[in-house]
Amino acid sequence: MHPVRRQRLLAVVLLVAGATVAVGLLAYALRQNLNLFYAPAQVVAGEAPAGARIRVGGLVVPGSVERGGEGLEVRFALTDGAASVPVVYRGILPDLFAEGEAAVAAGALAEDGTLVADQVLAKHDENYTPPEVAEALKRAQEMGEAGTP
């Protein structure tokens, strides 16, 4: 093989190998940052993976908000009308967070079914509900109506 052709072949092989490594690293990084949305009914049904980063959205169950003594730990439950998921969050809640209002909590699901959240998002005005939460509430309501005589 001619030395020039060998150099070109080596350059192409190195370029392809470098591109393959770059795509692999990119796919790995995107997989680490992926957080899927689950409704509380899906979490209770066992569809959400334990330990993986997920988002759970629904309405904050009235009377479920419990604040720790002097710490920033807050416990509450999110519901879609069909099931509820307990959430533990350590931090400052958004100003618009309230019982009976829509919220989305992002974090990891513990083995006991509690969502250990590192981020809580609340609606930004009285007319807005996150699309995922609205869809989950609508599905739960339809399932409830289908089950009634």
Q: Considering the entire predicted model, what is its pTM?
A: 0.65
* 82 and 41 housed in the same domain: yes
Q: Which pLDDT tens digit goes with each residue over 80-107?
A: 888 999 999 998 888 888 888 889 999 9
* 28 and 52 housed in the same domain: no
User: What range defines the domain where residue 112 resides?
Assistant: 35-147
Question: How many structural domains does the chain have?
Answer: 2
* 67 and 10 housed in the same domain: no
Confidence band of 48 (pLDDT split at 50, 70, 90): confident
Q: For residue 64, what are the CA distances in angstroms to 2, 49, 76, 135? A: 77, 24, 5, 23
* 83 and 10 housed in the same domain: no
* 13 and 42 housed in the same domain: no
